[in-house]
Amino acid sequence: MTTLLPLVSNTTQEVKITPLNAPLGAVVTGLDASKAIAPETILRLKQAHRNYHILIFKNQKLTDEQLKDFAYYFGDLFVPLDETPVLASKTGVTPVVIPVANIEGGYTGTGELTFHADHHWTPYPSSGSFLYAEEVTTKGGETAWLNLNLAYESLDDVTKERIRDLQLITYNPFVRTPDSPRRLYRNDTSTPLVAPVFAHPLVRTHPESGLKVLSLGYATEVSVVGLEPEEGSALIAQLREHLNQPKFYYEHRWAVGDIVYWDNQSTLHRRTAFDPSERRVLKRISLAGSRPF
């Protein structure tokens, strides 16, 4: 049984939302995520999330159950389909709170993770994810988030026009034939597909804000529907080079008690590698999304 709505709640006046001096992001202080939150505060947070793409909540202390209750203020949970596995997928019983940690039972190890959006290869990718930091490193393991709306808007007009109606397939990195090489672009059809694939607009419209985003990860294997491999791979390489510019992203140095809630529809995220002798324990929850358009 879940315990819902503890008696003590937050005072609305104390909650401050301060935009970062960065291409995206705002910091939320004066809020205790383990307690009930006033309706007007929830609405302010939702609005800020739409405007700033990521919210950073400071100084939290939560059980897994409380983290889940907090996340539910913003939507329903992401549940992967068995045929489109994601991080921590287990048939029928994927955990809701996923330990992103270099300890036993944890996921993602200690290596670098390049810019990606969670669940992009599924039919209905998640709308957003939360990471809550319980233990952090002294250096390394920084997470950066990249503003895909800015990345789109700063493309030149010719490129915008060229990519306007293109559909992109992102191949599932969790389903791989053992000896197939890691590729940035699938330019042959000789390797059989081992999981269903889904094409989504390369230029996506954010379902709430209506903003256009360049919906492309940095290194996941992709292909563009209807383009010859040579043309498609050259285009994707050009877009990826454009994406990977510091002017589009903010890098976060974690402190214990931080929760970052990001929009998976308008951002990418990446992580720098860290020393395996340090412990890094984060907890992740992802929210359900909708069919991209």
Of 122, 103, 21, 84, the C-alpha closest to 282 is 103
- How many residues bind ligand OGA, per CB under 6 A? 11
Q: Which two tokens stand for residue 152?
A: 């789109």
If one asks whether residue 113 binds ligand OGA (CB under 6 A), the answer comes out as yes
Q: Which of 265, 284, 287, 292 binds ligand OGA (CB under 6 A)?
A: 284
Residue nearest to Mn ion (CB): 118
Query: How far, in Å, CA of 94 to CA of 61, rounded?
Result: 24
3-class DSSP assignment, residue 239: helix
**From CA 46, how far away is CA 292, in angstroms rounded?**
20
The smaller minimum CB distance to ligand OGA, of residues 143 and 233, is found at 143
DSSP state, residue 254? P
The distance of closest approach from Cβ of residue 156 to Mn ion in the complex, given in angstroms and rounded to an integer, is 29
Judged by beta carbon, residue 32 or residue 118, the one nearer Mn ion is: 118
Query: How far is residue 26's CA from residue 55's CA, in Å, rounded to a whole number?
Result: 5
Segment lying near Mn ion (by CB under 5 A), choices 11-19, 96-104, 112-120, 162-170: 112-120
What is the CA 89 to chain-centroid distance, rounded? 16
Binding mask 12-31 for ligand OGA (x = CB under 6 A): --------------------
User: Is 110 one of the binding residues for ligand OGA (CB under 6 A)?
Assistant: no
Complex with ligand OGA: residue 5 or 256, whichever CB lies closer: 256
Q: Which residues pair with 263 in a beta bridge?
A: 128
Q: How far is the CB of 106 from ligand OGA (least distance, A)?
A: 10
Pairwise CA distance, residues 248 & 153, whole Å: 11
d(CA 24, CA 145): 8
- Provide the mask over 132-171, with x wherever binding to ligand OGA is found by CB under 6 A and - wherever it is not: -----------x----------------------------
- 269 contacts ligand OGA (rule: CB under 6 A): yes
Determine the Cα angle at 128 with ends 257 and 101, to 5°: 45
Task: Let me know if 175 is exposed, middle or buried by CB neighbors in 10 A (0-12, 13-18, 19+).
Answer: middle
Give the SS3 label for residue 65.
helix
**Binding to ligand OGA in span 67-106, by CB under 6 A:** 100
Q: Which of 26, 28, 70, 118 binds Mn ion (CB under 5 A)?
A: 118
Site string for Mn ion, 71-100 (x = CB under 5 A): ------------------------------
Instruction: Give contact residues for ligand OGA (rule: CB under 6 A).
Output: 100, 108, 113, 118, 129, 131, 143, 269, 271, 282, 284
